[in-house]
Amino acid sequence: MEEKRKLTSFLFSLVLFLSFSLSSSLELQTLVLFSLPKPSSLLSNQEWDITAQLQAEGELSDTLSNTLDFSGLLDSNVALQLEHLDALAPSHLSKDELFAIKLKRDEARVESILAKAQARGGSHPSSKPGPSHGRRNATHGPRSGGDFSSSVTSGLAQGSGEYFTRLGVGTPPRYMYMVLDTGSDIVWLQCSPCKRCYDQTDRMFNPGKSGSFRSIPCRSRICQKLDQPGCTVRGNKCAYQVSYGDGSFTVGEFASETMTFRRTRVPNVALGCGHDNEGLFVGAAGLLGLGRGKLSFPSQTGNRFGFKFSYCLVDRSASSKPSSVVFGSSAVSRNAVFTPLISNPKLDTFYYVELIGFSVGGTRVPGVSGELFKIDRTGNGGIILDSGTSVTRLTRPAYTALRDAFRVGASALKTAPGFSLFDTCFDLSGKTEVRVPTVVMHFNGADVSLPANNYLIPVDTSGRFCFAFAGTMSGLSIIGNIQQQGFRVSFDVASSRVGFVPNSCT
């Protein structure tokens, strides 16, 4: 008993000593305090078109041109206005309630990724199943030149992803909301006639009214490359199925169609035309898979857009500027720092990177190394970049070391009880700004210094802020979109690398 007391006293003294010794050399930055974002209003189609045109001619193009090379892009550049999914939420919901929904969706998202990783050869001790999105497939896209960009909008009610864009499908194009998902491959949308369909904001797509809709034969090479290829009951038409961990699914015809991004037409995109859809999608018409698999949109159109795309996601609490996604060579900024993409032979959908450590307050966090994020022989482990996950999940030893280092560096802040999945929170009520220790993510070849708002976030309207990382018992770690906010994140698959440019959204 006495030895235990002495050990506790020693550890407490050590923490105090470290806190004191670090205080003189601790690197700090200012956190400007913002509250939870306000719910936005859904724009009408007419307002969408007017705002999109203004942004295409002005603000967004100016913003992107500061960091992107638009040579050869002027004729096909597209900038679309964003909308946040909370615009579809009931108007009586408060900011606190919307944030609670966000965290529930995030939990479902993480479970879906872990379920997919487990199904492909890895394993994880997850407590419950979640939806898995997309499939590994292969095809090739059109062979013409050009780039384009469009805007994306952050969502709140889906476990399928966080961000949405409005794009046209068919000829003439019918514009509708589509989920952008870097953790999925297949492109699909709801189609009429529909046996069972969820509610969506726009009218359902009718392939019979499109002049560019083409069926794909059952025995075609592209159909056979589906994970679960099949034939429709009537006719020699390819059928697809995407299943979700919660039992939801989308089933229908696999066909080719033209997609339109403002004035840029992209023909012959292989997509699922779902006639039986039961899942987590509310409001959006379907999903635009941006994964690394061979049937994802970037892969299908790789010969046209150079296997390159990027996005810049805005912190809605601190800015009214739009988020955006860009496809083509202009997606890769001249000012980016790059880290290699890592291949996982067991699972080709996700974008794996090599994280080798963290720094807090200017000092490397002991106990966190690249060994904690290695992919093993079964395909388990590793760390991925994901646009649809909000809160970064780190394998438990890495998270514990990072959290403890941050607690020491932030010891001057008043602590608060934990909140949901967050175990490190602070009471910052009555303040407009505070000084917090810096946090740097060290990748192989790239050091990414995070803005304070990317790791200390508001969780309620009472002034409680929490450290926006969490631990996971899974071997797979996920870098979420909170940590990616404000960066232009470029996926240069052609060169097998990912780039980061800070302060690129505003």
Residues annotated as part of the active site: 181, 386
Helix (H, G, I), strand (E, B) or coil at 253: strand
Would you say 342 and 370 are in contact if contact means Cβ atoms under 8 Å apart?
Answer: no
Residue 329's Cβ-side half-sphere holds a number of Cα atoms within 13 Å equal to 10
Ramachandran category for residue 362: left, alpha or beta (phi over 0 → left; psi -120 to 50 → alpha):
left
Q: What is the dihedral of CA 114, 119, 123, 127, to 10 degrees?
A: 50
What does the block give as tokens for 383?
């760390």
What is the DSSP code (8-state) at residue 373?
Answer: G
Q: Which one-letter DSSP state was computed for residue 96?
A: H
Rounded CA separation 315/485 (Å)? 6
CA atoms 456, 459, 460, 464: torsion sign: negative
Nearest by Cα to 378 from 487, 263, 476: 476
Tokens of 152: 């994306």
The two structure tokens encoding residue 182: 């870097």
Q: Tell me how crowded residue 54 is: count the other CB atoms within 10 A of its CB.
A: 13
C-alpha distance from residue 200 to each of 176, 178, 203, 281, 330 (Å):
9, 10, 7, 8, 32
Alpha-helical regions (H) of 341-444: 396-409
Half-sphere exposure of 158 (CA within 13 A, CB side): 33
Query: Is residue 242 a contact partner of residue 133, using CB atoms and an 8 Å limit?
Result: yes
Give residue for tokens 């699922």: 272
Q: Which residues contact 452 (CB under 8 A, 6 or more apart)?
A: 29, 30, 31, 32, 436
484: nearest Cα among 404, 390, 411: 390
The identity of residue 488, as a single letter, is R
Whole-angstrom Cα distance, residue 461 to residue 196? 39
Distance CA 487, CA 479 (A): 13
- Rounded Cα–Cα distance for residues 483 and 316 (Å): 13
